[in-house]
Chains A and B, each alone.
Chain A
Amino acid sequence: MFVACLIAANAALVMALRSVQRRAAESAATDPAGHVQARGEVVIGATDQPRLEAERRELESVGRLAAGVAHEINTPVQFTQDSMQFVRESISELAEAIARHRHISCSLLAGEASLPATLAAARAAVAADATADLEYLLDNVPRALERANDGLDRISTIVRSLRELAGPERVERTTIDLDDALGDTLVSARAEYEAICEITTNYANLPRVAGNRNELRSVFLHLFGNAARSIGDATAGSNRRGTIAVTGKREGRFVTIEIADTGIGIPLEVRHLVFEPFFTTGDVGKARGQGLAVSRAVISKHGGTLTFETELGKGTTFAVRLPIAATKTTAGTGQVAA
């Protein structure tokens, strides 16, 4: 049922995507004089040009998003659907097998059948088990369920990240001790960087910021992970180790946290795509390409900015800039619309 809903939602998404692409293509087909080529139905004045251009870029971005969503969701839907159908078919085979064996047990207990007849029936039942591929089913049904579960997890992660992209929502907000949040995150990210690089930290007594601690931690976690991967790419095949430098400082009404790596840097031609949803430099299939888009959405929801500077072969520095919490209280909770 859930899968069916997803497929329906996905079909709607693809339809929307197609119409977006058509509109994007129409805008793209507009020649400098403002006439829509190969259509003959719309003629737009030359003065609309900048607006059209902006609209086209936005549509392309939406198109990329929808294409990314379609691709990311369709794969888990594929294997979840197949796995569930396999389980469904297997259950009926298993039910038949149980019925076969129960029949023998029952007739034996009731004293209705002679021993030789029961033995013959048992042999037939065991043979039928083999034909029905029972061993395989018993072995694979739990795995298929596990797989279906993973698939649904993946789908809901994608859907959740889309919700982040969709913008502000009501979240639990507190004032956050950044020293503490950064320290915690570094501990939990240890597995990502331990083998690859050293961490240097240069921050203390950072001012508190208002927001959602878990969301901010997920941003830091993501930035540490990216930094470690980039360093991993730079040092692959050598004994060298890189460094991630974490610094924090107050700048007027803002606090800035910089996470600098000694990785490979970001190539010029993809720099403008870094914050695009579903853009990834990671291996296709491994990286999901949503982290930075979601991270930027989270930071801007907190009234801040997420930017980067990069140099090929030297490394990349991401800067998280957050407004300092207005209240002087050290801790306070409340439901605030973000």
Chain B
Amino acid sequence: MSERKRIMFVDDEPAVLAALSNILRRDRHRWDLVFANGGIEALRQLELGTFDIVITDMRMPALDGLGVLAAVKEKSPRTVRIMLSGYAEASLVLQALPLVHQFLSKPCDAKTLRGVIERCGNETRLSNDRTLTGTIASLPCLPSVPAIVDELRAATNEPEITIDRLITICERDPALAAKVLQIANTAHFRGDDAPTSSIKVAVAMLGTEVMHELAHSQMVALPTNDVCAKLIGTLQQHAVDAAQHARRSVGDPGRADDAYTAGLLHDIGRLVLAHELGADYLPVLERCAETGAQLWECERELLGLTHQEVGAHLMAMWALPPELVEACERHHDPRLLPAASTILVTAAQVAAEAIGPGSSAALRAAS
């Protein structure tokens, strides 16, 4: 833990870098900061060492921000890649999404910047497991249920499609919902508004055209391995059940949609593990079925990490609202006193407890 976070800023404007180095001077004891003047200098710095976070401008001569981030992804997949841009068009955001974890917009004040740096790569347990952190960082998206993907693509092709219809589709698929929330919470779409946890709001912010573009992009994907293909239906049904339960569990109707999302995404880590590990995830499920132990206990024992941690890591990387990340991270956390937990954490806990890990018959069917 003595290792200090290493952060590189890339901009073609020396004044921007000089001002950043001034303003972040007082963080010099906790962070190693490197300032690269332009894309080429950034590549040189990448040769010299690795970084935990790279924050780059978009428009630069010779090598632009996307070029820099592509090189970062190639060389050190676990690095958090952030775009700090003066202005980005919607289509650029979608195009950049496979390479960019988070978008910040200029001007971005020091407080916001510090907050982002502090939150990034702080999931200590996972940060130690460099392989899986790397894999999660290079995941552009998660697999969706094939039937829902078909439905979404067909719907966005219809001339008379309504936002409501798109919302009902996105609310049924955790991977899709997470992606939509990630995009809606980028600086471009969100502007100065507070982050949103509501799938309804997120889809409405994107609008039908961006949804059409998204549905037909590589950001919406299908399961790529047999285990995930078999599990995904069960996981999706489990997520929707939990979401509905979570929505009913909150008293405040204003938070009902947010609670729904917390429920829908609370087990997204299981989707990540099934997608990433494939057949290697089966021993965990078998152990779980044999011993009757909690899924996360079996994961901890056999994998050294849990689906809560994995899910929260991914959601933090995608800069989903911190409250949602927390709900995912703590939905099995028995140490948490009710008073200390947020409404969404409670909703996710209640839902997880009521629903359980999902039908064990289905889990066994997959193995």
Contacts and interface: CB of A to CB of B under 8 A. Distances in A.
8 contacts: A29-B209, A40-B160, A71-B59, A78-B107, A83-B22, A83-B23, A147-B18, A283-B61
Given A67-B89, A70-B87, A86-B22, A11 B191 contact: yes
B356 interface: no
B106 A284 contact: no
Interface string A285-300: 1100000000000000
Contacts of B59: 71, 284-285
Interface stretch (A31-39, A121-129, A192-200, A239-247): A31-39
Please classify the interface of chain B as helix (H, G, I), strand (E, B), loop, or mixed, using the class held by over half of its residues: loop
A133 interface: yes
Interface in A8-45: 11, 14-15, 21-22, 25, 29, 35, 37-40
B106 A78 contact: yes
Contacts of B248: none
B208 A39 contact: yes
Interface of B: 12-13, 15-16, 18-20, 22-23, 25-26, 59-61, 64, 86-87, 89-90, 105-110, 156, 158-162, 191-192, 207-209, 212
B161 A38 contact: yes
B87 A67 contact: yes
A81 B12 contact: no
Contacts of A147: 15, 18-19
Nearest to A84: B19
A77 B107 contact: yes
Interface residues of A, number: 43
Contacts of B15: 76, 79, 147, 150-151
Most chain B beta-carbon neighbours within 10 Å: one of A15, A37, A140? A37
Contacts of B12: 284-285
A14 B193 CA distance: 13
A-B pairs, top 3 by smallest CB distance, nearest first, are: A82-B19, A40-B160, A74-B86
Contact of A143 (B18, B158, B159): B18
Most chain B beta-carbon neighbours within 10 Å: one of A37, A79, A136, A283? A79
A11 to B, nearest CB: 6
B324 to A, nearest CB: 25
Contacts of A151: 15
A81 B18 contact: no
Contacts of B64: 284
